[in-house]
Chain A
Amino acid sequence: GAVVSQHPSWVICKSGTSVKIECRSLDFQATTMFWYRQFPKQSLMLMATSNEGSKATYEQGVEKDKFLINHASLTLSTLTVTSAHPEDSSFYICSARDQSAAGGPYEQYFGPGTRLTVT
């Protein structure tokens, strides 16, 4: 099956610093990638949808200047948490849509997640 990787899997940073998380589709091209945030014992909340070569679409309530998304190639999207604060500590999960499998649920594959802890 299609594989989506994330790097790093776990990161600790100090308050006020910025952190970049990478999401890669390893064996397929993804014109669309999604970024989710998951707090402990809660469900996945969609933060934004990124399309290769264009600006990301953010969900209501998500600060686009704080969560910078870049989707520069068909296999890579990055999420940068700028000026991170302890309340940004969460599990960030990306997902990539395989256009060749469009039309069904198998088209969207999830990465293993990145645990961010801001101290």
Chain B
Amino acid sequence: QKEVEQDPGPLSVPEGAIVSLNCTYSNSAFQYFMWYRQYSRKGPELLMYTYSSGNKEDGRFTAQVDKSSKYISLFIRDSQPSDSATYLCAMRGSSASKIIFGSGTRLSIRP
């Protein structure tokens, strides 16, 4: 069993739709939960992060962490074609531990 499971998609939605991306994990030691966005042939860029459980909102993006269910989500409101990318969930334990990435979900927003 992988430490982090993420549906690879692809996921295609019309512009303006609400997008929900999810990951599950098995390691209860994870404390930092991140979402990275990766455009084609580019390195990943940090989009959102949450420490421990809870919600965090930044503009059109909302990250949720449910440690009791070992489940994290990223919501994108009013999706735009420019949001089309691969979204990687990632997590780590302590600040000294390595980041574990999900497999990534390919998202396409149709104009």
- A residues apposed to B, CB below 8 Å: 4, 6, 34, 41-44, 46, 49, 91, 93, 102-108, 110-113, 115
Q: Which residues of B contact A (CB under 8 A)?
A: 6, 8, 32, 34, 36, 41-46, 49, 51, 88, 92, 95, 98-99, 101-104, 106
Q: What 8 pairs across the A-B complex have the smallest Cβ distances? A: A110-B43, A105-B49, A43-B103, A43-B101, A112-B43, A113-B43, A103-B95, A44-B101
> Which of B8, B41, B45, B102 contacts A110 (CB under 8 A)?
B45
What is the bound-complex CA distance between A107 and B51, given in angstroms? 14
What are the residues of chain B within 8 A of A108 when measuring CB–CB?
Answer: 99
How far is B88's CA from A42's CA once the two chains are assembled, in angstroms? 10
Knowing A102-B95, A104-B49, the reply to whether A43 touches B88 (Cβ < 8 A) is yes
> Whose C-beta in chain A lies nearest to the C-beta of B36?
A110
Contact check, B34 vs A93: say whether CB atoms are below 8 A apart: no
Number of A-B contacts (CB under 8 A): 49
Contact B41 A115 (CB under 8 A): yes
User: Which residues of chain A are near B104, meaning CB under 8 Å?
Assistant: 41-43
- Complex contact B98–A49 (CB within 8 A): yes
Of the candidates A43, A103, A112, the one whose C-beta lies within 8 Å of that of B42 is A112
Told that A110-B36, A111-B43 touch, could you supply 13 new A-B pairs with CB distance under 8 A? A42-B103, A42-B104, A43-B6, A46-B98, A49-B98, A102-B95, A105-B46, A108-B99, A110-B43, A110-B44, A112-B43, A113-B41, A115-B41
Chain A residue numbers with a CB within 8 Å of B102 are 43
